Amino acid sequence: MAPNPIMLPRKRRSSARHERLEQENAALGITWPLLATSIAVLLITATSWARHWLLSGCAIESMLILWGGNSRIFPSVPVWTLLSSFNLIYAVVSTSWLLYAFFTAACWPFVFVTCLFQFQFAADLVRKNLRTVLRDFYFTRDRIAFFNLPALEIDTEVAGLMVIRGITFSLSHLTLVAHGIEVGIKLTDEIELALHADEVRVPLFRSIEIDDVYANIKGGKAEMTFGDVEEEDTDEDSFFNETPLLRAATAGSEGIKSRPKLRDSLTGGTYIKDSPAKSVLDNIQTLSPDNQVAEKQYDDIVTNIRTTSAIYQSRARVRQDRKASGLVIEDEKDMRAAVCAELHETPSVPHPPHHSIKVTTLQKLTKPAVRSFMHRLPFLLRLVLGPLGYFHPITINSISAAGSGQWLKELLQQQIFKSHADNSAELRRLQRRISTWLADANFCLQLTDVDGLGQVPISTSFDIVAYLHFADIMAYRALPQSGELKKVVRLGGADATFTIPIFLLPHHEHILPPRPTVEDEVQMKEEVEEADGIPKAVQAEKELERVKKDESTINMSVHASLPAALDQSLLTFVAALVKATKIIEFDREVEKMDPDKDPGTPDSLTRTSTSMSSASVETTDSVKGMHKRVQSDITTASTGSRFKAFTKNLQQNLREASVQVADTYSKENIREFVKDVHQQTKDGMKKTVVASMVNDRWIAKFVGKIAANLEKAQGDLGYSGAIPIPLEPYRPGPHDDGMLSKLLP
């Protein structure tokens, strides 16, 4: 006997009803599209408005949505809601020929995308044809990929080379992915910056997500890739060039290509030599029409880019060296610091392509008429940059920047020590201590979880504001030879704000401050003289100085979050550096107070090497007694005003000594004698004062006390300053007067 439906449980009754509805929908799945298509064909043949409906693409798109079934576009929206909304929009725009034209131009590409999304046979057909026709594009599933891209040569304010080894664009997710980014920038003739990143993801109108970024600052010709670059000898207007920068990068990459490749396993435990890449990956042009083969080839190319990158190879080499020495790095932050130190010996651009494109060449691709039109619409530029900056906040996993200790040692020698250590044993000892801590090490600064946001205002009444936030800040000292890695500084985080004048944007020279005139300088000098108080006077003087130089400023404000942890080796290094700088400072002060000639001695007197006669023993003894008293006064002398008074008394005593010996010695011997006594007194003064004031224990105690307070302190430690920007490069030239008129300023 069949059970009574009324007596069935509620759950079983609802399940049966659901199954019955699914069967009815399956039966009507073909009926509704066929019925709707038949009605549409009849209307198109019978009425004129239906033919306009067909030409606009709205009719085709409506039929495609009905035939899409479960794989239709926008599956989360009910089908009848989607169709009614779409056709309602058409009904509104059909009342105007201009709106109808815009709707038609947008609808037909959408029809093409709908076909690719809903129907597999259409997607396969397009992929096969495009793989055959387009030789440098790669189509797999919903992705379009570009490989073997030419390098971008930076030839504007600085010289550099940027390489992107591959780009993938996902149509379904509207996401752009860049693989293998390598950048080398020659900042000056002695400094170069190298940047490496494995992947950059740009979900359009959502964010910009950057993987770990590794930066290396290289100083000196030995470390730089672009240290010696010959002059350009190619045509500036050519699109593809083999430039000197590209040749220098190619020569530098030969060393890394000859190294054995290492493969880092998923567990990080085994390392084997990488097998040679397939020949199809070396010079591949097209993918196979078969989807599975094409997908495998695409995966092989992306894997090859990842495993041959400098970051991947350096990470594998670090793990191999640590495993050989019995050390294991478990913290990912420590691993990043070790990898960044290992990357310092790598060329700035390890994988240069065969051709490059100059930035100036790309700028010339736009026709002069188009450039002139865009130049007259600066409002359009702000209207584009504003939403782009708002909808694309930047997130970076980490930024690791390393520098060579040998280079830092050379900078200290050039800027601080110079030739001062030649005449001071204490300075030589401090210089050896500082050089030992720097010479064989690499130093890495690491910033983690970086968030950035830029705001470009629509109105020119406001400036551009950029925000940066760092969740964690660490500094490492790495010894590549021994594998030692030590964290010397750690802060609780930091944030920075940059305020950039709006007139620094392109095509905004019409709002630049006018060139300063003589009247402006006179007026500002009067403001300085009439300023109310010292702070206002100092501000007015700085403003007057900027006006004279025709400069503007980018205001920055940086705050570091406390507490801060400092390593003892760093404190020792800081104490030695502080003592060395104080000794050099005292040396310079003494030199200023030690004139070469005695003001009371005539210029006609010449230096002689005549020795003192035996008849002057009594007078000499009295002078020696005075010299002992001077030495006794030196030991009790202190800093400040007492120190200056002491030096004045010292000069007066020397003059008295010269008077005492005048009766015994000839005028030719007076100058030599006085200089000998003065030199001995100066040396004793320097040794005594420096030993009393620049005390190792006092400096170590002072630095240690500051470090102990920083470990417990709360709050922020900040700095605010201004970066000067000369305005002359932004001002229009003599032939640009006709471009100053703006349609939408």
Q: Which of 252-256, 341-345, 593-597, 694-698 has the lowest mean pLDDT?
A: 593-597
Task: Sketch the domain layout of the chain as residue ranges.
Answer: 17-118, 139-365, 371-515+550-563+714-730, 587-601+620-701
Report the C-alpha dihedral over residues 659, 665, 669, 675, rounded to 10 degrees.
Answer: -40
Please give the pLDDT value at position 11: 42
Number of helical H runs and strand E runs in the chain: 24, 19
Question: How does pLDDT run across 660-680, given as a tens digit for each residue?
Answer: 545 544 555 556 655 665 555
Q: At CA 571, angle to CA 565 and CA 573, rounded to 5?
A: 140
- The average pLDDT across 569-576 equals 86
Interstrand relation of 213-219 and 208-210 (parallel, antiparallel or unpaired): unpaired
Report the DSSP beta bridge partners of residue 273.
262
Tell me the average pLDDT of the chain. 77
Task: Tell me: pLDDT of 524 over 80.
Answer: yes
Task: Tell me: pLDDT of 18 over 70.
Answer: no
Residues 6+ apart with CB under 8 A from 193: 183, 184, 185, 187, 215, 216, 217, 218, 348
Give the count of alpha carbons within 13 A of 204, CB side only: 8
434 vs 416: CA distance, rounded Å: 12
- The average pLDDT across 55-78 equals 84
| DSSP helix/strand/coil, 536 | helix
Question: How does pLDDT run across 675-688, given as a tens digit for each residue?
Answer: 665 555 555 555 55
Residue 223's H or E segment, with its range, is none
pTM of this structure: 0.72
CA 468 distance to own-chain centroid = 12
Interstrand relation of 356-358 and 151-155 (parallel, antiparallel or unpaired): parallel
| DSSP helix/strand/coil, 724 | strand
Question: How does pLDDT run across 637-653, given as a tens digit for each residue?
Answer: 444 444 455 556 656 65
Question: How does pLDDT run across 43-59, given as a tens digit for each residue?
Answer: 888 888 888 999 999 99
| DSSP helix/strand/coil, 440 | coil
Please give the pLDDT value at position 686: 56
Q: Residue for token digits 């059909």? A: 94
Residues 6+ apart with CB under 8 A from 635: 688, 692
Phi, psi values for residue 347, rounded to 5°? -60, 150
